[in-house]
Amino acid sequence: MKQLTKAEEEVMHVLWQLEKCNVAAIIDKLPEPKPAYNTVSTIVRILESKGFVDHEQEGKGYLYFPLLKKADYSSQSINKLVDGYFHGSFKSMVSFFVKKNDVSLSELESILQEIKKDTKSKNRKTDN
């Protein structure tokens, strides 16, 4: 899967949020300073060429929608981060963020509870 530029990611986040929209709606959701219409239109066409976005005709214009789920892109991006900076070790990545962000013991316990909850949920799905 191809990596997105920062501008492409910004547009994708809007598309994931809105699910289907035109270029004007994308611009409306982007932060100030708003990019030019042609700039966003070009980014959307690049996203189409990369296989992240498709469109359908609506009147004289187009509605754009994501072909890739946000969770799938996020997972791929995290894996690339872990592989590239932490030699494939999630443990090293978590340790790095804990040290750099001064995570408290209560925050770590909360994270562990979430992991346990997610693990139990996954186990129930595979048992059925």
**102-116 confidence digits (pLDDT tens):** 778 888 888 888 888
CA 83/CA 89 separation, integer angstroms: 7
Q: What percent of the chain has pLDDT over 90?
A: 57
**pLDDT for the residue numbered 78:** 87
**pLDDT for the residue numbered 4:** 92
Higher pLDDT, 13 or 95: 13
CA 12/CA 35 separation, integer angstroms: 15
The distance from CA 30 to its chain's CA centroid, rounded to whole angstroms, is 15
**pLDDT for the residue numbered 97:** 80
Surface-to-core class of residue 83, CB atoms within 10 Å of its CB (0-12 exposed, 13-18 middle, 19+ buried): exposed
The single residue listed with the structure tokens 């409306």 is 28
CA 111/CA 107 separation, integer angstroms: 6
**69-123 confidence digits (pLDDT tens):** 999 998 888 888 889 999 988 888 888 888 888 778 888 888 888 888 877 777 7
Q: What Rg, from alpha-carbon coordinates, does the chain have? A: 19
